[in-house]
Structures are given as structure tokens and as C-alpha cells.
Structure 1
């Protein structure tokens, strides 16, 4: 279970981050990059085996309630472009995927900020599609995005402490980077430019053809042909900001660890075959591992979520079209993670 430690006074967390025993405990943790409270059990008295089931039930309940209210308020704006929900297999697949994402977050020791950012990055592509090409109002789409983010982040907020890198960057390791406003703006802007360039490039080349062939109920293709930096900016800025929260902040806040020194001492001549293979495959610093793992997570979750939303929720979308559209956003996530990694590598 997550190894977290509450912040009792300013500077306490930063001092604990220098303790080798604390560092060791999170070496292979995608949530590393900030000191947390000792355990989730210290935040809640609930038995550990019950915590994730409660998170799951609460998240699904909040999502159902939120979408029911949204449908009533918007008079079925989103439902007008949705497939029939009579297929129990599709419902089971979507529910199972949602639980799997919650499991990635819970057992990967992510916090509420991480889950909110991950959901925005993974749910945003389908909602962008609906607003841009299906005539769904931006208000309805943004409301759905908020519901998705809150439905996953609130249960985590209740049962798991938030990383100091998110709530108190001045107390986090490498605070000179994490807490610097200029660096925050720069990294968010860089990520936004990468997302915008990837999306705009797809819209100007192959994506219109994919949309017209594989998205049979699409309302218009004019936004694709008229796409500019200005038209993709809202989606790109939102994606850039949330990518910074999910990838760069934990990556930059990861301190050096005792295991990092062993990398420079590695001798391939004296190492065994298995040791050499392990070094070649995963011989990175703890900081680099956090960045790599989080980039892979956001790219994979974005791809799968976008594909499932397009094929199981949006009416008239063929599997091939959903794969190509999802790949555009997954590629943007990978490029963004690479760019943020280059910025924060020192």
C-alpha cells in the first residue's frame, strides 16, 4: 500500500526526502517525485483491503449521478450523438476499463491531482471530437470533462493524501524547479505547443479523410479544413497544462536516490548476462523512470480510452477510424512527455 507521510510543518517533508530509507521505498513507483504521507491508512481508518473497492464504488456512483444531472440540464445534448446503451457487453467493457484506470491510479500510488489530470487527458480527445465535428456544445463537453475528473479525483482525495509537489511545491524535493512560476508556465506552454502541432498536423493531412470514411454520423468537416493554431489552441492549452501536472511536476520533484549512484559504477565486463540486460532495458535514474512510466501511462490510457469512447459511445464510428484518431492523441502524449523530459532532465 502507498507509503505516505503527512506534512507537519514547513520544511519537514523536504528533510524527510533526504532520508535514504524513505527514498528506497518508492524506487519503482510511478507516483514517485514527491514526498507523501506515510500510508493511506493514516488518513482513513478503513481497512486497507476495503479502500480500493470503496474508491471504485464511489467513483462509479459520482459519475452516474453527474451524467444524469448533466443530461437533465443539457436536455440530452451528449445523448443525441451517443450509441444505444442496450448492449450489456459494451457497458461491461466501459465499466471494466474505468475500474482498471482507477486500479492503475490506486496501486500506482497516484493522488487526486494525478487522477484528475489523467482523466482530462484521456477523456478530452473524444469530447473535442464531439464539439468540433458533431455540434455538441462546448459547455456540455466541459461539464462532462469536469464530471469525469471529479468522479475519479474525489475518492482519492478522501482516502489518499496529496503529494507535496502538487499542494506545497516549496516543500517538495527540487523545489527550485517545481515551485518556479516561470518554469511552470514554460513547461505547460511547451506541452501545449506539442499537442497543438500534433493535432494541427493531423487535421491538415490525413485526419479529414479518416473522419469522412470511418465516422458516418459526423456533422461537418469544415473545422478540419479550416483548422489553425487559433482553433486548436483551447484543447492544446488544456492538454498542455494537465500534462505538466501529470508528467513534469512529479518528474521534476523526484530527488536523487542511492540507487542512482550505482548506475555510474556499472561494469559490463564484470556483470552477468541478466544484469547487463536489466541495465540496458531499465538502467535509468529514479527521476527518468518516473518520467518514462508516466508518459507511457498517459499515452496508453489516452489511446485505449479514446478508442473505447469512439467505438462504444459515439454513434457511427468504425473501429479503424477510432484507432487512427486515438493514435493522434496518444502520439501527442508521447511527444509531450519526451519534450518535458528533455526540459527537466538536468
Structure 2
């Protein structure tokens, strides 16, 4: 038997004790390394974009016999190669943005503020990290950005609900599946397994009445803005810019149509709550400190001063909510314009933009409502 070697106390390196208040340290110690971490980030980015496009093409090909009879009647016939390439490219851009902006992982979009913080001379930069159950965040985003298009097909073009739901599901699943495979899940949407300190306002996020109230608030805003548009200026726009639109009875349903509109928009309210309210309310500040106001600001650039006195004055939760609201409203407007004008027959760009603008305004109103809720003490 070989003699045991004595290990001196000086030779052993003491392991640093993780700070239980620091979200970064907590997540690092509770998240085990997996084979996913060995795949370089650029490779995962390529696999997500390429995999989403391939999966979408395969699924639409398999379901063409089921949906083509409905969608083919209203779809625009694309004669030029660049029209097809443009729609495919936009789909790729949509998936790429979801990855680069940090959906279901580290929020790169919000980390841009760190670089400005460094330029401003702040000693303690904010580490804006949010973690979500893998795939849930991007599913909510895609559900909302594609909702105006499929609502138009269902209510005004008499496309069968089964065809609409099949196409809708393919659009979402073809992106969610690659995200779920190539980006690790974490805390905000998985509170039962989230480590202590990783999620703020855990009691609020787990409270069922709060979940119901915030979901119904978002649903009501979507419903009221759409109903007000139906009752005033939108019918004329539909007739002028949607040539040959088969049915606009939905806009003339009057008060009797409001309950149906509200019920159909409950999933939109739930998705908006998860994408906007949960992501900002559940953000944990960690050990970040406020910037030292005594730092010498002499000679700083004007843009840095403007940033510090405007955006820099907001709390981290408000920045997250504002950024996500702007991002979602822009995504709804741009995606609706591209999809409706590019795929539905006899629809002008102006008409598609107008239809998307209604939903974008509703999205901004929902974000503002959540901001008002989060301004309450204790949230």
C-alpha cells in the first residue's frame, strides 16, 4: 500500500464562497455544465436559424394538402424569385433577432446599457440577466407578432380555423423547438426550480389572482382598442386597401361582438403578460449599486449626458419593460406589414401597415398599463 501524501493547508486553494445575494453567482453554482455549453455560440446561432427555416419548410410541406385549399384561395401568387427570397429572408431575420436579443436566455439587448454605463464612468455596471424556461419567451413573442395576420385570415377571409391553427402552430413550433434544444432553460418561467435570489417578486408572480388580473387587463386593452377601431375608421380602410375582402361583418357586429372578441384575445393577454410583465417584474437586481453621483462628469459627450439624465434615471425593471414594449410593438407592426402585404392577395402596403398599427398601439397601451402596475410600492 502506497503511503498517503500529506496535503499542507497552504497548498490547497480556498474556493471562493458564492454570494447568496448575487444572482450571477447563484445561477453559476446551481446550473450544471452540459454538452450544450461545449457548442460555440456562433454555431448554435447558425443551427437555430437554419433549423427553424428547414423545420418550417418541412412542416408546411407535410400539411400542404390539409391547408392549401383554404390558404391557396387568399394567398398572393409570387411570380418573382426575389419575392420568395424576401419572405424567407424576413423569416430568418425574425428568428435571428429572437436569438440575438436574448430570448429565453441572457438578455443581450438589455446588456447594451452596460456598455453605456462603462462609458459614463460608472464603477458598478448593471448585469441585466434574465432567464426563462427555454422556448417560452420566444413563443410569446412570435404568438403576438403573428396574431394580427392570422386574426385577419380567420375573421375577414373565412379561412377555416383548423387551417389557421395549423399554420399558426407551425410558425411558432418551428422556432421554439430549436430554441428549446440549443438554449438552456432557467428561472422566471420556472419558479418551482429557480434558486433563491434569482427571481424577484416571486410571491407576486406565483399569485393566481394577480396572474388573472394582469392577463384580463391586457386582454381588455387589446379588445377595447380593436373594438373602437371597428366602430369608427377601420371599416373604410379595409374596403379601400383590402381589395376583394370577402367578409367584414366582424367590424359591424356592434356591442354583441365584444364578448366574442374578448374571449378570442385571452391568449394574447396571457402572452403579453409573460413577455412584458413577468420578464420585468421578476428581474433580480442582484448586488448592483447605483452609480456614484460624485464622479467627475466634466468633458463627457452630450449623448452620454442625455442618456444619463433620461434613460439612465429609470430603474432596471422599467428599462426592461420599456425596451420589450418598444421591441414587441415594432415587431408586430413590421411583421404584420411584411406578412399581410407579401402573402395575401390584393392587399396594399398601406392597408397592411394600418392593420398592424392598430395592434402596435394596443401593445404600447398594454406595456404602459404594466408600467403603472409595477410603479406600485412593493413590486
Instruction: Give TM-score scaled by structure 1 length.
Output: 0.84
8 Å contact 1:200–1:229 — kept in the other structure? Answer: yes
The 2-side partners of 1:256 and 1:149 are apart by 31
Residue aligning to 1:334 = 364
**Unaligned runs of at least 5 residues, structure 2:** 1-17, 105-134
**Unaligned runs of at least 5 residues, structure 1:** 1-14, 24-33
The 2-side partners of 1:246 and 1:258 are apart by 24
Q: Is 1:55 aligned to 2:48, yes or no?
A: yes
Shift of 1:219: 0.2
Partner deviation per Cα, 1:244-281 (whole Å, 9 max, x = no partner): 1111111111123555633xx64799675554311233
The 2-side partners of 1:21 and 1:270 are apart by 30
8 Å contact 1:36–1:162 — kept in the other structure? Answer: no
8 Å contact 1:169–1:179 — kept in the other structure? Answer: no
Judging by fraction of residues, say which structure has more helix: 1
The 1-side partners of 2:357 and 2:159 are apart by 23
Distance of aligned partners of 1:274 and 1:344 in 2 relative to their CA distance in 1, 3 Å threshold: same
Matched position secondary structure for 2:265: helix
8 Å contact 2:241–2:347 — kept in the other structure? Answer: yes
CA RMSD of aligned residues (A): 2.7
Partner deviation per Cα, 1:112-153 (whole Å, 9 max, x = no partner): 111111111011101101111111011211221111111111
1:254 pairs with 260, 283, 301, which one?
283
Of residues 292-301 and 74-83 in structure 1, the stretch that sits farther from structure 2 once superposed is 74-83
The 1-side partners of 2:224 and 2:341 are apart by 25
Distance of aligned partners of 1:84 and 1:43 in 2 relative to their CA distance in 1, 3 Å threshold: same
The 2-side partners of 1:114 and 1:98 are apart by 17
8 Å contact 2:242–2:351 — kept in the other structure? Answer: yes
Larger Rg: 1 or 2?
2
The 2-side partners of 1:110 and 1:251 are apart by 13
Matched position secondary structure for 1:124: helix
Matches within 5 A, 1:11-160: 18-19=21-22, 43-111=36-104, 112-160=135-183
Q: Is 1:308 aligned to 2:338, yes or no?
A: yes
1:324 pairs with 328, 336, 354, which one?
354
Partner deviation per Cα, 1:44-83 (whole Å, 9 max, x = no partner): 5323221111111110111112222332123421121100
1:225 pairs with 252, 256, 261, which one?
252
2:269 pairs with 231, 240, 265, which one?
240
8 Å contact 2:191–2:202 — kept in the other structure? Answer: no
Matched position secondary structure for 2:63: helix
The 2-side partners of 1:328 and 1:40 are apart by 45
Of residues 205-214 and 55-64 in structure 1, the stretch that sits farther from structure 2 once superposed is 55-64
Say how many residue pairs are matched.
320
The 2-side partners of 1:64 and 1:146 are apart by 13
Distance of aligned partners of 1:128 and 1:276 in 2 relative to their CA distance in 1, 3 Å threshold: same
The 1-side partners of 2:148 and 2:180 are apart by 25
Matched position secondary structure for 1:91: helix
Shift of 1:22: 5.3
8 Å contact 1:199–1:328 — kept in the other structure? Answer: yes
Instruction: Give TM-score scaled by structure 2 length.
Output: 0.77
8 Å contact 1:260–1:286 — kept in the other structure? Answer: no
8 Å contact 1:17–1:35 — kept in the other structure? Answer: no
8 Å contact 1:36–1:164 — kept in the other structure? Answer: no
